[in-house]
Structures are given as C-alpha cells and as structure tokens.
Amino acid sequence: MRIAQVSPLYESVPPRLYGGTERVVSFLTEELVAMGHQVTLFASGDSRTSAELVATTPDALRLQGGGGDSLAYHLRMIEQVYARADDFDLIHFHIDYIHFPTSRARAVRHLTTLHGRLDAPELVPLYRTFCDMPLVSISDAQRRPLPFARWLGTVHHGLPRDLYRFHASPGSYLAFLGRLSRDKRVDRAIEIAHRLGMPLKIAAKVDQAELDYLDEIRPLLDGPLVEFVGEIGEAQKDDFLGGAAALLFPIDWPEPFGLVMVEAMACGTPVVAFRQGAVPEVVRDGVSGLIVGDLDEAVQATERAMLLSRRRVRQDFEARFDVRHMARAYLDIYAGLVAPDLDTAATPVSTAEAS
C-alpha cells in the first residue's frame, strides 16, 4: 500500500528530545516500511526515516528557537501533501483538525489520529461541523467528549520490542518523566517520595508556557531527595526508566494515552498512576503497576508496586504494546478505507515473524 504519514513539525521524527506524537509517527512509519509498504513521511528536514522523507521545514520548529507562526508552516505542508495526493492510496494525518477543510474538498482517502485531549468545549461545534472526517483515537477514554464523531477505531500506541532493555534488578530511586506542567503534577511525585523517604529523579521538559509553574514548585525541586535531571532523549531513557524502582505517573488531567507508562513497562519498571483518562487502559492493575485515587493510596501502592514481578511487567508490554500490534491495527483500518479490490497485503521484509 502507498501511504503518506503527515507529522507535526514541532519536533523531528523521531524527536531528539521530548515529543510523544512524533515518536509514535516514527515507530509506525518504520514498522510499515519493514512490513513492505511504500511510505512517504511529511515532516521536518532533520527527521530520520527509512521511508521517503518530504522535508517541509529545514528543522523542527521547537529547536529552531524564537517564536514564529507554526500554523503557517503546517498549512504549507498540507498544500504539499495534496499536491502529491495521487501518489498515495491513503493519507494518514497526525496534525489535529487543521487539514479538515482541504480534506473535505478533495476526493482522497484519508484518516486522522488525534493525539491530544478533546475535552475543550470549543471542540464540540468544530467536530460537529466536520462530523464526516474519519478519526482514530489513541484510547477509548480520549474520545468520550466527542461520542458523535466518526470514529473508525481506537489504536493504542506501540513501541519497538528492542527499543528498551529489560532491567531485572531495580534501582533505589523513583522516576518521574514528562512535561513539567500542572497537569502532570510533579508536586505529587515529590510528596510521595518524601513520605517514603526515597530519592526521586525528575526528567522533564519545561516549555515557555510552564515557566510560572516551574517558579512555583522550584522550592520543592531543591529538596534533599529530589534530583532534577532536565529534559532527556531516547538514548537516556533506557537507563533512567530501567534503573528506577517504579515510575510515578501522578497526573491530574484526562490523559489521552501516556506513552511514558509503556516505556517504563518495556524496561520492566512498574507504574504507579492516578486513575485519570486512559490510565486504566494502559496499566493492568496488579500486573504492570497499580492505579490509585489519591496521595495516600499512592504512597501505599508505590511500596507494593516495587514487589511486582518485573518480568511480568515486561511480558505485559510485549503482549499489548509491541509496535507490530499498532501497525497491524492501523492496516486493518486502512483496508476499510481503500478500494475493496486494492491488494493491501505487503510482502514482509523478513519471514521470521511468521514462524
């Protein structure tokens, strides 16, 4: 199948540092190529891929520095995508809704994976207006604010099986990985660590919009048990997550998915997560981690989570969040959109997986 993948331009594909959506686009693109499909990736010029790369900006927007109008770059990319529309059997967008008017006007098969939260009230009239747009959610929880939308399915994120090593022996610290924002509630993670008397390592991205929050919690970051590592990339995640006794995911928002939970599970590290958004879809309570409702529960659960079998945590990742599961789920959805007589089966690069 000839497939276009259209990525946001804020980060490269894959991102050099933080960037959940662009990381997933990379995993999906590479797996589809490995399965024998002809994939074209529309992304920033500093992206790395085995697909055909169409560079719509020289570099990822966030790392270019300065402000700028990101919408202008994305609208130009949409025009470039549709200039080549006849080259593809299907166009897969990962850029929210900004392409909807163009996609409605063009007779091209397409779908959109929505990667963010959907509970903003202004989104309801927008998605009612564009209720014909074919959509994929990354969790069942994500789609609840828009039950009337044209959902083709839910596809959970997946990671390459060999991206992270299994770490059988945990370290003596707790880990927090994500954005340093009010929604992610690193203050809760610090409180849990203090109550348990355990070191906490924080690897976090800080956006300009979150500097006020950083100023508020800065005194907490200076505590004796807290080590602020800063923003880390893929190369550092293996040791950071794999060396932790547990990952703390104390969110306070309707999390659409939470890729860091799966990353920790791939290392064998159990997750202690607050019951919000997609958490119950990702964490198998008592197997890959524990799900809690408040701080008191979280403190008790963290002690119990460290006793869970790290081997079982890793096995749960392999069974549910291997990138091959994600790619096959998308191919099933693609097949439902393309012409019935199109041969959607591709010859795998290797036949070892069939054995």
Dihedral, 315, 317, 320, 323 alpha carbons, nearest 10 = -120
pLDDT exceeds cutoff 70 at 350: no
pLDDT exceeds cutoff 80 at 230: yes
Between 317 and 178, name the one with better pLDDT.
317
Q: Pick from 27, 50, 183: which is nearest to 113 by CA?
A: 27
pLDDT exceeds cutoff 50 at 349: no
pLDDT exceeds cutoff 80 at 64: no
CATH 3.40.50.2000-classified regions of the chain: 2-158+322-354, 173-317
In tens, the pLDDT along 281-308 reads: 999 999 999 999 999 999 999 999 999 9
Region 136-147: mean pLDDT is 98
Determine the CATH number of domain 2-158+322-354: 3.40.50.2000
Region 57-77: mean pLDDT is 85
pLDDT exceeds cutoff 90 at 95: yes
Question: For residue 210, what pLDDT is reported?
Answer: 73
Between 149 and 340, name the one with better pLDDT.
149
CATH architecture of 173-317: 3-Layer(aba) Sandwich (3.40)
Question: For residue 213, what pLDDT is reported?
Answer: 81
**pTM to 2 decimals?**
0.91
Region 37-61: mean pLDDT is 96
In tens, the pLDDT along 164-187 reads: 999 999 889 999 998 888 899 999
Region 97-118: mean pLDDT is 95
